[in-house]
Structure 1
Amino acid sequence: MKFVLIGVLTTLLTITGCGEKRSPLESALYNQAGDRIGTVTLTEQPGGVEVKVKAEGLEAGPHGIHIHEFPKCEGPDFKSAGNHFNPTQKKHGLMNQKGAHVGDLPNIDAESSGMADAKLMLPEATLKDGQTSLLRKEGTSVVIHSGPDDGMSQPAGDSGDRVACAEITLNSEKAKASDPTELNKKQEK
């Protein structure tokens, strides 16, 4: 009986631990035309989830960036990503006293060259199991908008069109690349 129980526990631990590398988790970032323009890397930290964004080809200036509720990045409008990730049912905006959504992030800035390189934090999110997990159900997505998020307007900060998207799933590694232009270079050959 003792050996059967040990065998069952070992099997359960093996099943739950196999193939689920949750942190760091890297996803490809695509523009409205379907071109790969960068990467988003999520890392579980003691204070939430760190979000590193590396992108090229953005308009110079500030851009709103949010976690959205579905892991679907169908261009050109990325509406398939759904609304902001808001499992705690709060109002939008980092400056909103009744907010913010779990998926609300500070704006990122693109240089005059169109490059953006940012490190942000999602203090209420996790990559582990739970209500605020970015990997719950099928997963979520990261969406970059054409303009800045004003931090208050409902429901999405008046940040304009969705111009880039990255799916956050356990299968994100399939599209992994360290160089945002790697896919474009392969297509040119």
Structure 2
Amino acid sequence: MRHPVVAPLVSACVLTAVLGGCAGADEAASGSTGGTAAADSASAPTSGGAGGGELTARLVDPQGQEVGVATLTEAEGGTQVDVRVTGLPPGFHAFHVHAVGRCEPDSANPADPSMTGDFLSAGGHIGAGEADHGEHAGDLPVLFVTEAGTGTLTAVTDALTPDQLTDEDGSAVMVHAGRDNYANVPERYAPGGPDEMTRNTGDAGGRIACGPVEG
């Protein structure tokens, strides 16, 4: 299975912070009131990818405040993803591409309208119906946010294609409240293997920032 790799210019463990700014019926993110994106926006990072076809996702929090920007660019070996964020809680955060390009606060999950929460309108990860978490096309390395609330990440994945990112219902870049365990639960902790929530989402928690992918 193809896996995303962190580009050499960024550490796979603790990522250098600079100026900044999941699955089907996954975590029940808490609802909140929405709003429009703030006029102040984070500048897009410079992409190191080759080729064209750059796509952009402006990330907003559930209150509509812009907190970062991600670019997705055709590159040698696949799709290069660059993201910068600011104003997010410090620590490691799960970072994915979701299957629906709608980022609505306190919205219904397309797969289960009875489940509502922030950005559930974006559906599950791209590829969630084809494998367990850790093998989804939309699975990316975790994003580290410093105590100052800023973070950056550059990664290249051969699992995402332009067609997946720009299909009829679009796609969305998502930052989660918690870190991602990629459903890696050793049998000594869970003899029966990870449960359904872990297999779907890596126990990433609620959705704290979302941006539709746009050309």
TM-score, normalized by length of structure 1? Answer: 0.70
Amino acid corresponding to residue 167 of structure 2 in structure 1: R
Q: Which residue of 2 aligns with 1:166?
A: 211
Q: Is the 8 A contact 1:103 1:122 kept in 2?
A: no
Deviation at 1:169, TM superposition (A): 2.9
User: Residue in 2 aligned with 1:26?
Assistant: 56
Please give the alpha-carbon distance, in whole angstroms, between the structure 1 residues aligned to 2:129 and 2:201: 16
Structure 2 partner of 1:62: 92
- The question of 1:140 aligning with 2:171 is answered yes
1:91 equivalent in structure 2: 132
The Cα offsets for residues 24-75 of structure 1, whole Å up to 9 and x where unpaired, read as 1222110111101110111011211111111101111100011111000001
Cα distance in 2 for partners of 1:39, 1:165 equals 10
Tell me, yes or no, if the aligned pair for 1:104 and 1:122 is still in contact at 8 Å: no
CA spacing shift, 1:103–1:121, aligned 2, 3 Å = same
| Superposition RMSD in Å | 1.5
Contact 1:138 1:169 in 2 (8 A): no
Poorly superposed stretches of 4+, deviation over 2 Å: none
Instruction: Give the SS at the match of 1:91.
Output: coil
What corresponds to 2:146 in structure 1? 111
Q: Percent identity?
A: 35
Match of 2:78 in 1: 48
Q: Which residue of 1 is the match for residue 123 of structure 2?
A: 82
Which letter does structure 2 place at the counterpart of 1:32? P
TM, length-normalised to structure 2:
0.62
Aligned length: 139
Shift of 1:87: 6.8
1:149 aligned to which of 161, 166, 180: 180
- 8 Å contact from structure 2 (residues 128, 200) kept in 1: no
Residue in structure 2 matched with residue 73 of structure 1 by the alignment: 103
User: What letter corresponds to residue 55 of structure 1 in structure 2?
Assistant: V
Equivalent residue letter for 1:60: P
> For the Cα contact (< 8 Å) 1:50–1:122, is it kept in 2?
yes
Rg larger for: 1
Amino acid at match of 2:81: V
5+ residue gaps, structure 2:
1-51, 107-117, 184-197
Give, in whole Å, the separation in 2 of the partners of 1:74 and 1:30: 10
Q: Gaps spanning 5+ residues in structure 1: where? A: 1-21, 94-99, 171-189
The answer for the alignment partner of 2:155 in structure 1 is: 120
**1:90 Cα offset (Å):** 1.3
Higher helix share: 1
**How far apart in 1 are the matches of 2:87 and 2:146?**
10
